[in-house]
Amino acid sequence: MPKMTMIEAIQSAHDTAMERDEKVVVYGEDVGFFGGVFRCTAGLQEKYGPTRCFDAPINESGIVGTAIGMAAYGLRPCVEIQFSDYVYPAYDQIVSEAARLRHRCAGDFTCPLVIRMPVGGGIFGGQTHSQSPEAVFTHVCGIKTVMPSNPYDAKGLLAAAIDDPDPVIFMEPKRLYNGPFDGHHENPVVPWREHELGEVPEGYYTLPLGKADIRRAGEAVTIIAYGTMVYVAEAAAAETGIDAEIIDLRTLLPLDLDTIVESVAKTGRCVIVHEATRTSGYGGELAMLVQEECFYHLEAPITRVTGWDTPYPHAQEWDYFPSPERVGRAMQQVMEA
Amino acid sequence: MSDYPPLTFNVPAPELRPGDTPDFSDVDIPRAGEARRPAVDVDPKDIRDLAFTIIRVMSRDGEAVGEWTCDLGDAELLEGMRHMMRLRAFDARMLMAQRQGKTSFYMQHLGEEAISCAFQRALQKGDMNFPTYRQAGLLIAQDYPLKTMMCQIYSNAEDPNHGRQLPIMYSSKEHGFFSISGNLATQYPQAVGWAMASAISNDTKIAAGWVGDGSTAESDVHAAIVFASTYKPPVILNIVNNQWAISTFQGIAKGESGTFAARGHGFGIPALRVDGNDYLAVYAVAQWAAERARRNLGPTLVEYVTYRAGGHSTSDDPSAYRPKEEGDAWPLGDPILRFKGYLIKKGIWSEERHVQTEAEIADEILTAQKEAEAIGTLSTGSGPSARDMFEDVFEEMPPHLIKQRQEAGY
């Protein structure tokens, strides 16, 4: 099986989707001739022509607004927002239009649309290239929110998102594009070709949206994570020696609550980790669900490790980024409670 | 210390406020027939003047004059009259129904009936409108069932939207009428995107986007025009300038110079300004723009100059911000009265037939209303089930919604 980076896997997901369905159209800023600033659409314009993969004006509400019109027509647009930090001009189109179209007209028109965007920090991107805005989308009814953590999942989940009959926000942790990252920024980058999840089938396959993955089975504590934080949690488990069960959510909405409940019922302890800011973050929702479903199994208060409630800093990146040490401390804390 | 005098801040204001005597003598109304009709493949820079004039066809004497005179036959003209009369009567009836508490809200078209009724004539089956809340004539002109419109307004059990939307936020894919949002101008880039999809698919269908004068200020309008100028999809970008955005006069959206149509110029998009109260002129301009779209010549921007003779909605009271008599003084007159004069002069209509048609339409609307109310109004009869509220959030209901529906007791 070929080895791919997450970028190559995402490119391959586009390629296989465009190959099998001529309704799939891909566009965004720098997406066409150049193939995207992260190269996730490289070669698509050459292969499928400029009417199916093209450059868009720098106008996010225009990119999403036109894509909604295309989806209503019957195409399957998959558009790129260059950084999730730039998605806010399109927020009205996403929240008021894409998310609610099916409901407001009882299915007369629908919106099968994928909006991809790189998220997260760890690349010295400062406040405008590092954000993790997943919670502003999970709060909206009518859209699905997906965040893969490795090449294999990225390809299968993106293929499923393009196939999905409803709008999907597809978030790509940019720090994972070229290799897994556990937060030890002083260490050399590990490339995906040395990781088992860098093995990606060349052909078409899908992974179901709404299904989490247990990345490490364990008995002592459940760690709920997604995106880059999956690897930070793995490092924390290895470094503390605590037998953690690590759940990679993969899809935030719809949420695979069953997998979470089964795990916490077993371990009785729960640490939630995300890179996004804390207040009203997705971790708050996860904690409430665990409390509702697992209260009588809990041996310790639920704890969360998150980015701080500050804009994502530049020079202080590693003071902001949830490190394996911080996650490890939280794990020890719930073990001792 | 600066040598310059202190800066001053400019806030445009309408010339007339309640209590003032309406006076539109400074509004330049070109004579009917004056504007030339260029070839549809004209270079946009050669018709810049058409964005500053007002294209008009019906003269004061009730005759169709000039190059924009169109080829509608007698039957089509009479049908057009009927559409406008039906829309006006429907509005009056539904306004009353709202006042009677049968629904929560209504928006009428008074004075603007010609625009959507005549425009629809230029479209074909399969084309798609992305309307605002004041283009029900697009449906009426296709003989969309009045009863179904009323069921939507009443949010009753036969509302095609299942009671999920405010009254008048219709949707009918079959009739080329995109689901109305209520969020202003979001439909404008969607119309462009739909047209892009048609071109990408090598289809023959065209799209029409609609926006009001006030909403042209939205960023989405800029987005739509940028994308339209870049990809040149088959789309007609309509701006209905009815002078008022709730209480805000059009000068707040546009500033005090230029026209809304002229905004197309910076983008190389042909722009026309037309008398929105002139059924024949609206149709002729729509036809011209549709022809451009069908011949792959790209987008056209059209400004319809009209006047919102009624309130913005049933929640609005225009007497608080503009003179009551302003509508009567509006120099472009009433679209139905003007068209009636034209048809009579043409010898195919009469005062008697007009009165008789009004009565027929009143009957037709009353019958539809009785049928709709037999199903239910917002407060009586049968409405959509509470259980149904959980449907269509997604195609397949996810576990958390199934759970919430159970929790709600449905």
Tell me, yes or no, whether A172 and A292 share the same domain: no
Residue type, A290: V
pLDDT of residue A222: 98
pLDDT of residue B26: 81
Tell me, yes or no, whether A92 and A237 share the same domain: no
pLDDT of residue A198: 96
Residue of chain B with shortest Cα separation from A67: B193
On whether residue A206 sits in a domain, the answer given is no
Give dist(CA A77, CA A74) in Å, integer. 9
- The Cα diameter of chain B in Å comes to 76
Does the domain formed by B44-379 have CATH 3.40.50.2300?
no
Q: Token pair for residue A75?
A: 């195409």
Residue type, B291: E
Say if B226 is an interface residue toward chain A (CB within 8 Å). Answer: yes
On whether residue A205 sits in a domain, the answer given is no
Tell me, yes or no, whether A247 and A272 share the same domain: yes
pLDDT of residue B24: 86
Q: Residue A247 forms beta bridges with which residues?
A: A214, A224
Query: Catalytic one among A103, A129, A274, A297?
Result: A129
Range of the domain at A265: 213-336
Tell me, yes or no, whether A155 and A57 share the same domain: yes
CA separation (Å) from B302 to A69, B191, B238, B365? 20, 14, 5, 32
Q: Token pair for residue B287?
A: 């036809």
Q: Are the beta carbons of B307 and B275 closer than 8 angstroms?
A: no
Cβ count near A35 (within 10 Å): 19
Nearest to B189 among A66, A77, A105 (CB): A66
Domain termination residue (choose one: A198, A233, A253): A198
Asked if A57's CB is within 8 angstroms of B392's CB, the reply is no
Query: Closest by alpha carbon to B271, among B83, B32, B44?
Result: B44
Q: Token pair for residue B228?
A: 């339209």
Say if B207 is an interface residue toward chain A (CB within 8 Å). Answer: yes
Query: Which CATH number characterizes residue A332's domain?
Result: 3.40.50.920
Indicate the number of domains in chain A: 2
Q: Are the beta carbons of B163 and B155 closer than 8 angstroms?
A: yes
Tell me, yes or no, whether A192 and A283 share the same domain: no
Give dist(CA A152, CA A164) in Å, integer. 18
- The Cα diameter of chain A in Å comes to 60
Q: Rounded mean pLDDT of A158-180?
A: 98
- Residue A14 catalytic? no
Residue B10 host element (H or E):
none
On whether residue A169 sits in a domain, the answer given is yes
B269-298 confidence digits (pLDDT tens):
999 999 999 999 999 999 999 999 999 999
Q: Rounded mean pLDDT of A89-115?
A: 98
CA separation (Å) from A191 to A78, A183, A261, B275? 27, 15, 33, 66
Tell me, yes or no, whether A226 and A185 share the same domain: no
* Chain B from 371 to 410: CB within 8 A of any A CB: 391-396, 398-400
Sheet holding A251-253, edge to edge: A53-55, A24-28, A76-80, A114-119, A168-173, A144-146, A251-253
Q: Name the segment(s) of chain B with CATH classification 3.40.50.970.
A: 44-379
In the three-class reduction of DSSP (H, G, I as helix; E, B as strand; rest coil), residue A236 is classed as helix
Residues in chain B: 410
Asked if B226's CB is within 8 angstroms of A57's CB, the reply is yes
B242-269 confidence digits (pLDDT tens):
999 999 999 999 998 899 999 999 999 9
Supply the DSSP string of B191-213, one letter for each residue: HHHHHHHHHHTT----EEEEEET
Query: Closest by alpha carbon to B190, among B208, B176, B215, B205?
Result: B208
Tell me, yes or no, whether A184 and A265 share the same domain: no
Give dist(CA B67, CA A113) in Å, integer. 45
Interface confidence, given as ipTM, is: 0.97
Instruction: Count Cβ–Cβ pairs < 8 Å, chain A vs chain B.
Output: 150
Locate tokens 């199934």: which residue?
A: B402
Residue B138 host element (H or E):
helix B137-140
Asked if B230's CB is within 8 angstroms of A57's CB, the reply is yes
pLDDT band at A165 (very low <50, low <70, confident <90, very high): very high
Locate tokens 């008074």: which residue?
A: B110
Give dist(CA B228, CA B244) in Å, integer. 26
Tell me, yes or no, whether A136 and A175 share the same domain: yes
User: Would you write out chain B's pLDDT as a tens digit for each of its 410 residues?
Assistant: 689 999 999 999 998 999 999 988 888 899 999 999 999 999 999 999 999 999 999 999 999 999 999 889 999 999 999 999 999 999 999 999 999 999 999 999 999 999 999 999 999 999 999 999 999 999 999 999 999 999 999 999 999 999 999 999 999 999 999 999 999 999 999 999 999 999 999 999 999 999 999 999 999 999 999 999 999 999 999 999 999 999 999 999 999 889 999 999 999 999 999 999 999 999 999 999 999 999 999 999 999 999 999 999 999 999 999 999 999 999 999 999 999 999 999 999 999 999 999 999 999 999 999 999 999 999 999 999 999 999 999 999 999 999 999 999 99
B353-380 confidence digits (pLDDT tens):
999 999 999 999 999 999 999 999 999 9
Residue of chain B with shortest Cα separation from A49: B200
Interface test with B, best of A104, A168, A256 (most B CBs within 10 A): A104
φ, ψ (nearest 5 deg) of residue A265: -60, -30
Tell me, yes or no, whether A61 and A190 share the same domain: yes
**Distance, in angstroms, between A107 CA and closest chain B CA?**
7
Tell me, yes or no, whether A153 and A20 share the same domain: yes
Q: Are the beta carbons of A274 and A303 closer than 8 angstroms?
A: no
B184 contacts in chain A (CB < 8 Å): none
Q: Are the beta carbons of B192 and B186 closer than 8 angstroms?
A: no
Q: Token pair for residue A101?
A: 């179209």
Query: Which CATH number characterizes residue A116's domain?
Result: 3.40.50.970
Residue type, A98: A
Tell me, yes or no, whether A44 and A95 share the same domain: yes
Give dist(CA B153, CA B150) in Å, integer. 5
Give dist(CA B381, CA B76) in Å, integer. 39
Tell me, yes or no, whether A218 and A254 share the same domain: yes
Say if A58 is an interface residue toward chain B (CB within 8 Å). Answer: no
On whether residue A97 sits in a domain, the answer given is yes
pLDDT of residue B71: 87
Spatial CB neighbours of A326, under 8 Å, sequence gap ≥ 6? A305
